[in-house]
Amino acid sequence: MRLLEFRNRASALLVAGVCVGSLACRESHSSSTTLTDPPAPTPSSPLPSAPPSPALPPLASCGALPNYFNPGGPFTRWERFPLRLSIDSASLPFAPSELFVAYVKGIREGAVVWSLASGEAFGILSEVGSNLQNADITVRVDQPVGEALLFGTEGEVELLQLDSARIIRRARILLYPSNFPPLSPPELQAYVANIVGHEMGHAFGVLQHSTDPSDLMFGSRNQKRASYPWITVRDLNTMSEAYCR
């Protein structure tokens, strides 16, 4: 199952459409300025809209406002934290180039924003390393194909393994630098960090987008974002809804 992510800077926004069918949990891009809510999951969706199993440990309280959580949308979450994140070094520009360092630093900075912003309530990573065996989440640089190429996708999340149709067991974040604007290595580091932070939000369980451009989970690059780690109260409250039950 894939959660495709379209983050074309030229677009004012995107339309979020998630989890339709067994292989398509995706977002479709629009160059218009009209937001459309994610469609409700179909009966064949692997991500049920029913509340999570009571066996899962709640990691937050429900009902914190404001949030952009869609209670009719699909639920996913990890059973618990911390998780291990692996960087696929072979996919990066060859070390020890400046670009290699920019990617590694950017991925590391982006990977921890949810843990930082939540005071380690969720999004905690016990290890971030290169080419780790049996990592929970992997980040790699790749070439976009299909819709990712067509729509200028900068990054996307694949939820590779789900348990009981809703618990995420393994995920992968793909970065597509061929769709990035021209950037110097320092600019690239910050750019990668921001994309990874957004994609980690999806990988941790926020499948929808905010319509507020100041939120990290805004559908396109959140140009109005606050300073690092970028996550707003709305972002945190929405993540809490994924982990509160």
Give residues in contact with Zn ion (CB under 5 A): 5
CA distance 196 to 112: 9
Residue 163 parent element (H or E):
strand 155-163
Select the residue whose beta carbon is closest to Zn ion and give its number: 5
Please identify, using beta-carbon distances, which residue of 119 and 201 lies nearer to Zn ion.
Answer: 201
Phi, psi of 110 (to 5 degrees): -75, -30
Residue 228: CB minimum distance to Zn ion, A: 18
Length of the chain: 245
Q: Which is nearer to Zn ion, 88 or 199 (CB)?
A: 199
Write phi, then psi, for 208 (nearest 5 degrees): -100, 175
CB of 30 to Zn ion, least distance (A): 14
Give least dist CB 97 to Zn ion, A.
29
**CB-wise, 41 or 201, nearer to Zn ion?**
201
Nearer to Zn ion, 18 or 167 (CB): 18
Q: Are 159 and 203 a contacting pair, CB within 8 Å?
A: yes
Q: How far is CA 188 from CA 50, 125, 192, 193, 202, in A?
A: 40, 23, 6, 8, 21
Minimum separation from the CB atom of position 198 to Zn ion (A): 6
| Nearest CB to Zn ion, comparing residues 5 and 158 | 5
Q: In whole angstroms, how close is the CB of 54 to Zn ion at the nearest point?
A: 29
- Whether cis (ω within 30° of 0) applies to the bond prior to 82 is yes
Q: Between 233-243 and 185-204, two packed helices, what is the crossing angle to 10 degrees?
A: 40
Residue with smaller CB distance to Zn ion, 39 or 93: 39
- Compute the least distance from the CB of residue 12 to Zn ion, in Å: 15
CA distances from 56 to 7, 70, 84, 98, 149 (A): 32, 20, 19, 43, 38
